[in-house]
Structure 1
Amino acid sequence: MKIFGVAGYKNAGKTGLMERLVTEITGRGFTVSTLKHAHHAFDIDHPGKDSHRHRTAGAHQVVLSSGNRWAMMTELRGTPEPPLSELLAQMAPVDLILIEGWKRDSHPKIEAYRGETNHPLIAPDDPTIKAIASDTSITLDRPVFDLNDTAIIADFILAETGL
Protein backbone atom coordinates (compact mmCIF):
# COMPACT_ATOMS: atom_id res chain seq x y z
CA MET A 1 0.00 0.00 0.00
CA LYS A 2 1.12 3.51 -0.77
CA ILE A 3 0.64 6.32 1.73
CA PHE A 4 0.59 10.07 1.33
CA GLY A 5 -0.45 12.74 3.80
CA VAL A 6 -2.22 16.07 3.87
CA ALA A 7 -0.86 18.22 6.68
CA GLY A 8 -1.34 21.78 7.86
CA TYR A 9 -2.63 23.85 10.71
CA LYS A 10 -6.27 24.25 11.75
CA ASN A 11 -8.55 25.79 9.09
CA ALA A 12 -5.93 25.32 6.35
CA GLY A 13 -8.29 23.33 4.13
CA LYS A 14 -7.04 19.81 4.91
CA THR A 15 -10.40 18.10 5.21
CA GLY A 16 -11.87 19.69 2.09
CA LEU A 17 -8.75 18.75 0.13
CA MET A 18 -8.89 15.19 1.48
CA GLU A 19 -12.54 14.86 0.49
CA ARG A 20 -11.87 16.13 -3.03
CA LEU A 21 -8.78 13.91 -3.39
CA VAL A 22 -10.70 10.79 -2.36
CA THR A 23 -13.39 11.59 -4.94
CA GLU A 24 -10.83 12.37 -7.66
CA ILE A 25 -8.54 9.39 -7.07
CA THR A 26 -11.32 6.81 -6.63
CA GLY A 27 -12.90 8.27 -9.78
CA ARG A 28 -9.72 7.25 -11.59
CA GLY A 29 -10.24 3.64 -10.52
CA PHE A 30 -7.94 3.43 -7.48
CA THR A 31 -9.00 2.16 -4.07
CA VAL A 32 -8.43 4.70 -1.29
CA SER A 33 -8.72 4.63 2.48
CA THR A 34 -8.16 7.49 4.89
CA LEU A 35 -6.73 8.00 8.36
CA LYS A 36 -7.63 11.20 10.25
CA HIS A 37 -5.88 12.42 13.37
CA ALA A 38 -7.98 14.25 15.95
CA HIS A 39 -6.31 16.49 18.52
CA HIS A 40 -9.34 16.44 20.78
CA ALA A 41 -11.66 13.95 22.38
CA PHE A 42 -14.07 12.52 19.86
CA ASP A 43 -16.72 9.87 19.90
CA ILE A 44 -18.44 7.97 17.13
CA ASP A 45 -20.77 6.38 19.63
CA HIS A 46 -23.64 7.86 21.64
CA PRO A 47 -25.08 7.34 25.12
CA GLY A 48 -28.04 4.99 25.13
CA LYS A 49 -26.84 2.89 22.18
CA ASP A 50 -26.00 -0.74 22.91
CA SER A 51 -22.40 -0.32 21.73
CA HIS A 52 -21.95 2.68 24.05
CA ARG A 53 -23.28 0.60 26.92
CA HIS A 54 -20.70 -2.11 26.10
CA ARG A 55 -17.87 0.45 26.13
CA THR A 56 -18.92 2.13 29.35
CA ALA A 57 -19.21 -1.32 30.95
CA GLY A 58 -15.47 -1.71 30.30
CA ALA A 59 -15.06 -3.44 26.93
CA HIS A 60 -11.61 -2.89 25.40
CA GLN A 61 -12.96 -3.20 21.83
CA VAL A 62 -16.47 -3.01 20.44
CA VAL A 63 -17.29 -3.98 16.86
CA LEU A 64 -20.47 -2.75 15.21
CA SER A 65 -21.56 -4.56 12.07
CA SER A 66 -24.41 -4.33 9.60
CA GLY A 67 -25.06 -5.22 5.99
CA ASN A 68 -23.64 -1.83 4.94
CA ARG A 69 -20.51 -1.33 7.08
CA TRP A 70 -18.64 -2.31 10.18
CA ALA A 71 -16.61 -0.30 12.65
CA MET A 72 -14.28 -1.18 15.49
CA MET A 73 -13.77 1.10 18.47
CA THR A 74 -10.80 0.53 20.74
CA GLU A 75 -10.69 2.17 24.14
CA LEU A 76 -7.19 3.23 25.17
CA ARG A 77 -8.15 3.46 28.85
CA GLY A 78 -5.08 5.47 29.79
CA THR A 79 -2.57 3.78 27.48
CA PRO A 80 -0.72 6.02 25.00
CA GLU A 81 -2.16 6.78 21.59
CA PRO A 82 -0.76 4.25 19.11
CA PRO A 83 1.77 5.52 16.59
CA LEU A 84 0.75 6.02 12.98
CA SER A 85 2.63 2.87 11.91
CA GLU A 86 0.51 0.74 14.25
CA LEU A 87 -2.71 2.25 12.92
CA LEU A 88 -1.58 1.74 9.32
CA ALA A 89 -0.96 -1.94 10.11
CA GLN A 90 -4.67 -2.24 11.00
CA MET A 91 -5.82 -1.00 7.59
CA ALA A 92 -7.16 -3.33 4.90
CA PRO A 93 -5.10 -3.36 1.67
CA VAL A 94 -5.93 -0.60 -0.82
CA ASP A 95 -3.99 1.24 -3.52
CA LEU A 96 -3.54 4.41 -1.47
CA ILE A 97 -4.05 5.51 2.11
CA LEU A 98 -4.45 9.27 2.49
CA ILE A 99 -3.48 10.52 5.94
CA GLU A 100 -4.91 13.74 7.36
CA GLY A 101 -2.82 15.16 10.17
CA TRP A 102 0.25 13.58 11.72
CA LYS A 103 2.17 16.59 10.37
CA ARG A 104 5.33 15.72 12.29
CA ASP A 105 5.53 12.07 11.16
CA SER A 106 8.01 11.00 8.49
CA HIS A 107 5.66 9.98 5.64
CA PRO A 108 5.51 12.13 2.49
CA LYS A 109 2.83 14.80 2.52
CA ILE A 110 1.44 17.91 0.93
CA GLU A 111 0.84 20.96 3.08
CA ALA A 112 -2.55 22.65 2.88
CA TYR A 113 -2.15 26.37 3.50
CA ARG A 114 -4.59 29.28 3.63
CA GLY A 115 -3.07 32.76 3.84
CA GLU A 116 -5.90 34.17 5.96
CA THR A 117 -5.02 31.91 8.90
CA ASN A 118 -1.64 33.62 9.41
CA HIS A 119 -0.04 30.34 10.49
CA PRO A 120 3.59 29.81 9.49
CA LEU A 121 4.38 27.37 6.70
CA ILE A 122 5.55 23.96 7.92
CA ALA A 123 7.38 23.13 4.68
CA PRO A 124 10.54 25.26 5.04
CA ASP A 125 11.66 23.19 8.03
CA ASP A 126 10.21 19.83 6.97
CA PRO A 127 11.62 17.84 4.03
CA THR A 128 8.70 15.37 4.22
CA ILE A 129 6.45 18.11 2.81
CA LYS A 130 6.78 17.43 -0.92
CA ALA A 131 4.51 20.26 -2.12
CA ILE A 132 2.17 23.03 -0.95
CA ALA A 133 -1.52 23.44 -1.82
CA SER A 134 -2.34 27.08 -1.15
CA ASP A 135 -4.93 29.77 -1.80
CA THR A 136 -2.18 32.38 -2.00
CA SER A 137 1.02 32.82 -3.99
CA ILE A 138 4.05 31.24 -2.33
CA THR A 139 7.63 30.96 -3.55
CA LEU A 140 9.32 27.88 -2.18
CA ASP A 141 11.87 25.24 -3.20
CA ARG A 142 9.15 22.70 -4.04
CA PRO A 143 5.92 22.66 -6.09
CA VAL A 144 3.09 24.99 -5.08
CA PHE A 145 -0.40 24.18 -6.34
CA ASP A 146 -3.70 26.02 -6.17
CA LEU A 147 -5.52 24.58 -3.14
CA ASN A 148 -8.61 24.01 -5.29
CA ASP A 149 -6.87 22.38 -8.26
CA THR A 150 -7.68 18.87 -7.10
CA ALA A 151 -6.86 17.12 -10.38
CA ILE A 152 -3.32 18.53 -10.51
CA ILE A 153 -2.74 17.73 -6.82
CA ALA A 154 -4.01 14.19 -7.40
CA ASP A 155 -1.67 13.85 -10.42
CA PHE A 156 1.23 14.91 -8.17
CA ILE A 157 0.33 12.45 -5.38
CA LEU A 158 -0.14 9.57 -7.80
CA ALA A 159 3.21 10.34 -9.46
CA GLU A 160 4.96 10.63 -6.07
CA THR A 161 3.57 7.28 -4.92
CA GLY A 162 4.17 5.53 -8.24
CA LEU A 163 0.51 4.81 -8.87
Structure 2
Amino acid sequence: MKVYGVVGWKNAGKTGLMERLVTDITQRGYSVSTVKHAHHSFDVDHAGKDSYRHRVAGATQVLLASRNRIALMHELRNAPEPPLEALLAQLAPVDLVLIEGYKRDAHPKVEAHRAVTGNPLIAVDDPTIRAVASDIALELDRPVFDLDDTAAIGDFILAEVGL
Protein backbone atom coordinates (compact mmCIF):
# COMPACT_ATOMS: atom_id res chain seq x y z
CA MET A 1 0.00 0.00 0.00
CA LYS A 2 1.09 3.55 -0.66
CA VAL A 3 1.02 5.90 2.32
CA TYR A 4 1.09 9.68 2.54
CA GLY A 5 0.61 11.95 5.51
CA VAL A 6 -1.02 15.25 6.35
CA VAL A 7 0.53 17.01 9.34
CA GLY A 8 0.37 20.41 10.98
CA TRP A 9 -0.24 22.12 14.27
CA LYS A 10 -3.69 22.34 15.88
CA ASN A 11 -6.23 24.31 13.81
CA ALA A 12 -3.97 24.28 10.74
CA GLY A 13 -6.64 22.67 8.54
CA LYS A 14 -5.45 19.05 8.61
CA THR A 15 -8.83 17.37 8.99
CA GLY A 16 -10.52 19.53 6.36
CA LEU A 17 -7.67 18.84 3.94
CA MET A 18 -7.86 15.11 4.69
CA GLU A 19 -11.61 15.08 4.06
CA ARG A 20 -11.24 16.93 0.75
CA LEU A 21 -8.35 14.69 -0.35
CA VAL A 22 -10.32 11.51 0.38
CA THR A 23 -13.23 12.85 -1.67
CA ASP A 24 -10.98 14.01 -4.52
CA ILE A 25 -8.85 10.88 -4.75
CA THR A 26 -11.74 8.41 -4.44
CA GLN A 27 -13.61 10.31 -7.16
CA ARG A 28 -10.60 9.64 -9.40
CA GLY A 29 -11.26 5.91 -8.92
CA TYR A 30 -8.68 5.05 -6.26
CA SER A 31 -9.47 3.26 -3.02
CA VAL A 32 -8.41 5.21 0.07
CA SER A 33 -8.25 4.41 3.78
CA THR A 34 -7.26 6.78 6.56
CA VAL A 35 -5.41 6.63 9.85
CA LYS A 36 -5.90 9.44 12.38
CA HIS A 37 -3.62 9.86 15.36
CA ALA A 38 -5.16 11.22 18.55
CA HIS A 39 -3.01 12.65 21.34
CA HIS A 40 -5.56 11.86 24.00
CA SER A 41 -7.93 9.19 25.19
CA PHE A 42 -11.05 8.87 23.07
CA ASP A 43 -14.20 6.75 22.91
CA VAL A 44 -16.03 5.54 19.85
CA ASP A 45 -18.77 4.03 21.94
CA HIS A 46 -20.68 5.55 24.84
CA ALA A 47 -21.64 4.70 28.38
CA GLY A 48 -24.62 2.38 28.52
CA LYS A 49 -24.09 0.85 25.06
CA ASP A 50 -23.39 -2.87 24.94
CA SER A 51 -19.95 -2.43 23.34
CA TYR A 52 -18.96 0.05 26.04
CA ARG A 53 -20.10 -2.34 28.73
CA HIS A 54 -18.04 -5.18 27.18
CA ARG A 55 -14.94 -2.97 27.05
CA VAL A 56 -15.33 -1.66 30.61
CA ALA A 57 -15.86 -5.21 31.82
CA GLY A 58 -12.33 -6.01 30.64
CA ALA A 59 -12.51 -7.20 27.03
CA THR A 60 -9.28 -6.57 25.12
CA GLN A 61 -11.09 -6.37 21.77
CA VAL A 62 -14.70 -5.54 21.01
CA LEU A 63 -15.96 -6.04 17.47
CA LEU A 64 -19.23 -4.40 16.47
CA ALA A 65 -20.80 -5.63 13.27
CA SER A 66 -23.88 -4.77 11.26
CA ARG A 67 -24.85 -5.05 7.63
CA ASN A 68 -23.53 -1.50 7.09
CA ARG A 69 -20.16 -1.47 8.90
CA ILE A 70 -17.82 -3.12 11.35
CA ALA A 71 -15.74 -1.48 14.04
CA LEU A 72 -12.99 -3.14 16.01
CA MET A 73 -11.89 -1.54 19.26
CA HIS A 74 -8.72 -2.76 20.89
CA GLU A 75 -8.14 -1.67 24.48
CA LEU A 76 -4.40 -1.33 25.16
CA ARG A 77 -4.75 -1.87 28.93
CA ASN A 78 -1.52 0.05 29.70
CA ALA A 79 0.43 -1.60 26.85
CA PRO A 80 2.50 0.85 24.75
CA GLU A 81 0.87 2.54 21.78
CA PRO A 82 1.53 0.43 18.67
CA PRO A 83 3.80 1.97 16.02
CA LEU A 84 2.25 3.22 12.80
CA GLU A 85 3.64 0.24 10.84
CA ALA A 86 1.75 -2.20 13.08
CA LEU A 87 -1.47 -0.27 12.58
CA LEU A 88 -1.02 -0.12 8.80
CA ALA A 89 -0.53 -3.90 8.75
CA GLN A 90 -4.05 -4.31 10.13
CA LEU A 91 -5.71 -2.43 7.25
CA ALA A 92 -7.26 -4.13 4.25
CA PRO A 93 -5.32 -3.42 1.02
CA VAL A 94 -6.18 -0.16 -0.74
CA ASP A 95 -4.46 2.06 -3.28
CA LEU A 96 -3.58 4.78 -0.78
CA VAL A 97 -3.64 5.27 2.98
CA LEU A 98 -3.78 8.91 4.06
CA ILE A 99 -2.41 9.46 7.55
CA GLU A 100 -3.39 12.44 9.70
CA GLY A 101 -0.80 13.08 12.35
CA TYR A 102 2.24 10.92 13.09
CA LYS A 103 4.36 13.93 12.17
CA ARG A 104 7.55 12.36 13.54
CA ASP A 105 7.28 9.18 11.44
CA ALA A 106 9.33 8.73 8.26
CA HIS A 107 6.57 8.55 5.61
CA PRO A 108 6.20 11.45 3.14
CA LYS A 109 3.85 14.24 4.19
CA VAL A 110 2.15 17.48 3.25
CA GLU A 111 2.02 20.12 5.97
CA ALA A 112 -1.22 22.06 6.41
CA HIS A 113 -0.50 25.61 7.56
CA ARG A 114 -2.73 28.55 8.49
CA ALA A 115 -1.06 31.87 9.26
CA VAL A 116 -3.69 32.83 11.85
CA THR A 117 -2.46 30.11 14.22
CA GLY A 118 0.92 31.82 14.55
CA ASN A 119 2.70 28.47 14.60
CA PRO A 120 6.05 27.99 12.89
CA LEU A 121 6.35 25.71 9.89
CA ILE A 122 7.29 22.13 10.72
CA ALA A 123 8.67 21.71 7.18
CA VAL A 124 11.67 23.96 7.84
CA ASP A 125 13.32 21.24 9.94
CA ASP A 126 11.67 18.12 8.50
CA PRO A 127 12.71 16.67 5.11
CA THR A 128 9.83 14.14 5.20
CA ILE A 129 7.46 17.04 4.56
CA ARG A 130 7.50 17.12 0.78
CA ALA A 131 5.15 20.11 0.31
CA VAL A 132 3.20 22.70 2.27
CA ALA A 133 -0.46 23.63 1.81
CA SER A 134 -0.93 27.14 3.19
CA ASP A 135 -3.38 30.01 3.23
CA ILE A 136 -0.50 32.46 2.56
CA ALA A 137 2.34 32.58 0.05
CA LEU A 138 5.56 31.06 1.36
CA GLU A 139 9.13 30.91 0.06
CA LEU A 140 10.38 27.36 0.65
CA ASP A 141 12.69 24.81 -0.91
CA ARG A 142 9.71 22.57 -1.74
CA PRO A 143 6.32 23.02 -3.40
CA VAL A 144 3.77 25.30 -1.74
CA PHE A 145 0.08 24.90 -2.58
CA ASP A 146 -2.93 26.97 -1.72
CA LEU A 147 -4.56 25.17 1.22
CA ASP A 148 -7.87 25.10 -0.69
CA ASP A 149 -6.44 23.79 -3.98
CA THR A 150 -7.34 20.18 -3.23
CA ALA A 151 -6.99 18.99 -6.84
CA ALA A 152 -3.39 20.26 -7.11
CA ILE A 153 -2.48 18.75 -3.74
CA GLY A 154 -4.10 15.48 -4.79
CA ASP A 155 -2.18 15.53 -8.09
CA PHE A 156 1.06 16.05 -6.17
CA ILE A 157 0.40 13.21 -3.70
CA LEU A 158 -0.64 10.76 -6.43
CA ALA A 159 2.47 11.61 -8.45
CA GLU A 160 4.66 11.20 -5.36
CA VAL A 161 3.33 7.70 -4.64
CA GLY A 162 3.25 6.63 -8.30
CA LEU A 163 -0.52 6.43 -8.79
Report the TM-score range of the alignment, normalised by the length of the smaller protein.
Answer: over 0.9
Q: CA deviation at 1:116?
A: 0.5
Amino acid at match of 1:2: K
* Residue 70 of structure 1 pairs with residue 34 of structure 2: no
Alignment partners' CA distance in 2, 1:41 and 1:79: 14
- TM (normalized to structure 1)? 0.99
Amino acid at match of 2:52: H
Alignment partners' CA distance in 2, 1:47 and 1:125: 43
Deviation readout 1:87-129 (Å, 9 max, x if unpaired): 0000100000000000110000000000010111000110000
Alignment partners' CA distance in 1, 2:66 and 2:155: 35
Q: CA deviation at 1:140?
A: 0.2
* RMSD between aligned residues: 0.4
Deviation readout 1:5-61 (Å, 9 max, x if unpaired): 000000000000000000000000000000000011110010111111110110000
Counting aligned pairs with the same residue, the percent is 72
1:90-129 correspondence runs (5 A): 90-129=90-129
Q: What is the match of residue 83 of structure 1?
A: 83
Q: What is the match of residue 133 of structure 1?
A: 133
Counterpart secondary structure, 1:156: helix
What stretches of structure 1 move > 6 A for 4+ residues in a row? none
Alignment partners' CA distance in 1, 2:31 and 2:95: 5
1:36-55 correspondence runs (5 A): 36-55=36-55
Alignment partners' CA distance in 2, 1:77 and 1:134: 39
Amino acid at match of 1:128: T
Alignment partners' CA distance in 2, 1:118 and 1:41: 27
- TM (normalized to structure 2)? 0.99
Counterpart secondary structure, 2:38: coil
